[in-house]
């Protein structure tokens, strides 16, 4: 951890709290999907990588994994509102159950666009799992099927979440001092 982060006081969720909650989410998803053949996990780069690898190991469903990358933030802490795809998945989604795994649901613009994209690729069923949810920050309506924790609309970092690419490797979720 950098010196700046070590002196940041506000830890929202500790490593232990994160691990416990992700394990619970994985078990819940396994219970819901264990009879489904060919589950595809679509991990949203880059932030969700940390959450996704933990979640998949808790799910233990033998799911396929692919990645999509969307960008809307640049280096700021406010969404630009324009979502572009920087990487598209290769996996065939036609007729499949696709679980989109995202680090945080904020304005809803990113997941709305990814959800529409996955539907257009022919998925039969689309589910979303987000580690964090800021329900008060929505600009478009969107509800995730699985939510780790609901938070107030702070800008947070750690466990994959960045600010201008920094702090992704911080094992806790911390509020970025404004």
> If contact means CB under 5 to 8 A according to the sort of partner, which of ligand IMP, Mg ion, none does residue 79 touch?
ligand IMP
Identify the burial level of 7 via C-beta atoms within 10 angstroms of its C-beta, where 0-12 means exposed, 13-18 middle and 19 or more buried.
exposed
Q: If you write DSSP's letter for every residue of 160-172 in order, what string do you get?
A: TB-BTTBSTT-SS
**155 binds ligand IMP per the rule CB under 6 A:** yes
Catalytically annotated residue among 54, 103, 106, 133:
106
Q: How far is the CB of 123 from ligand IMP (least distance, A)?
A: 20
**47 binds Mg ion per the rule CB under 5 A:** yes
- Using the contact rule CB under 6 A, the part of the chain among 29-37, 56-64, 71-79, 114-122 near ligand IMP is 71-79
**158 binds Mg ion per the rule CB under 5 A:** no
Q: How far is the CB of 155 from ligand IMP (least distance, A)?
A: 4
User: Is 106 assigned a catalytic role?
Assistant: yes
**105 binds ligand IMP per the rule CB under 6 A:** yes
**DSSP classification of residue 158:** B
Query: What distances in angstroms separate CA 159 from CA 62, 119, 166, 170, one per listed residue?
Result: 23, 28, 11, 6
Q: How far is the CB of 31 from ligand IMP (least distance, A)?
A: 26
**In terms of CB distance, is 73 or 149 closer to ligand IMP?**
73
Which strand (E) or helix (H) includes residue 24?
helix 15-33
Tokens coding 118:
């996955």
Decide the pairing of beta strands 64-71 and 39-45.
parallel
**In terms of CB distance, is 42 or 44 closer to ligand IMP?**
44
């Amino acid at each position: 951890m950098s010196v700046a982060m070590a002196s940041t006081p506000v830890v929202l969720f500790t490593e232990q709290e994160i691990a416990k909650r992700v394990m619970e989410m994985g078990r819940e998803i396994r219970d819901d999907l264990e009879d489904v053949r060919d589950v595809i996990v679509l991990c949203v780069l880059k932030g969700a990588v940390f959450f996704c690898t933990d979640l998949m190991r808790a799910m233990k469903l033998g799911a396929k994994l692919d990645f999509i990358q969307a960008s809307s933030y640049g280096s700021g802490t406010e969404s630009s509102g324009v979502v572009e795809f920087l990487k598209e998945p290769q996996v065939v989604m036609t007729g499949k159950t696709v679980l989109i795994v995202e680090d945080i649901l904020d304005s809803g613009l990113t997941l709305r666009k990814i959800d529409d994209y996955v539907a257009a690729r022919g998925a039969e069923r689309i589910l979303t799992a987000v580690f964090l949810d800021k329900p008060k920050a929505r600009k478009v309506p969107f509800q995730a099927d699985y939510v780790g924790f609901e938070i107030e609309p702070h800008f947070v970092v750690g466990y994959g979440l960045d600010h201008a690419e920094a702090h992704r490797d911080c094992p806790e979720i911390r509020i970025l001092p404004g």
